Chains A and B, each alone.
Chain A
Amino acid sequence: GENVEQHPSTLSVQEGDSAVIKCTYSDSASNYFPWYKQELGKRPQLIIDIRSNVGEKKDQRIAVTLNKTAKHFSLHITETQPEDSAVYFCAANDYKLSFGAGTTVTVRA
């Protein structure tokens, strides 16, 4: 089955700086790669996703890149703000969604 690895496990950035989270997957058949944000005590919510026929996608301060050959994808957050502090999960699908272990992002004011 699909195995998703996510790095780093924790990330502390100064407000206004960029944050990058990287994930690798194992199943070359996976074709959908969403990113979820989970604030403390709340449910995970989709923030951006990308499909295997696209290499990059951007939504305001958030962007995701996908390298199918290397089987890795990354989340980029620019101009970080305190409300970006949360746990971020990457995921990949084979017959189900497999999630990475999560990255705790802390934005320092």
Chain B
Amino acid sequence: KAGVTQTPRYLIKTRGQQVTLSCSPISGHRSVSWYQQTPGQGLQFLFEYFSETQRNKGNFPGRFSGRQFSNSRSEMNVSTLELGDSALYLCASSELQGGKDEQFFGPGTRLTVL
């Protein structure tokens, strides 16, 4: 099976702009979770989508949003970018929802906000 893919791999934006990141899960996986990774902060949970519905949400402001399509592909959107949004954004797919089984990570999108 093909692994999880994310596009784009790198993005440079300026403050105030918005950005959309894309994630294609492993075929057959219906759960997609998004994480923000910054140095020293580990992986911070953003949200999880399962069967096109947001199931869980982490402690991030409303500027962070997402959606999932019928083919399980997911997008994440960040509006009104701030310098502190610079991070590696990882998505992960799994068969079960709620973090109950192995999550397969994508390579990540490196976002730099200037």
Using a CB–CB cutoff of 8 Å, the interface residues on chain A facing chain B are 6, 31-32, 34, 36, 42-46, 49, 89, 91, 93-102
B64 at the interface (CB under 8 A from A): no
B84 at the interface (CB under 8 A from A): no
By DSSP majority rule, is chain A's interface helix, strand, loop, or mixed? strand
Let me know if B43 and A93 touch, CB within 8 A.
no
B40 at the interface (CB under 8 A from A): yes
- Which B residues are in CB contact (< 8 Å) with A6? 42
Let me know if A44 and B99 touch, CB within 8 A.
no
Let me know if A97 and B103 touch, CB within 8 A.
yes
- Which A residues are in CB contact (< 8 Å) with B44? 99
CB of A8, distance to nearest CB on chain B (Å): 14
From B14-22, B66-74, B75-83, B104-112, give the one contacting chain A.
Answer: B104-112
Asked if A89 meets B42 with Cβ closer than 8 Å, knowing A32-B100, A32-B101, the reply is yes
0/1 per residue, B35-49, Cβ < 8 Å to A? 100001111110010
Say which residue of B41, B45, B55, B107 sits within 8 Å of A97 (CB atoms): B45
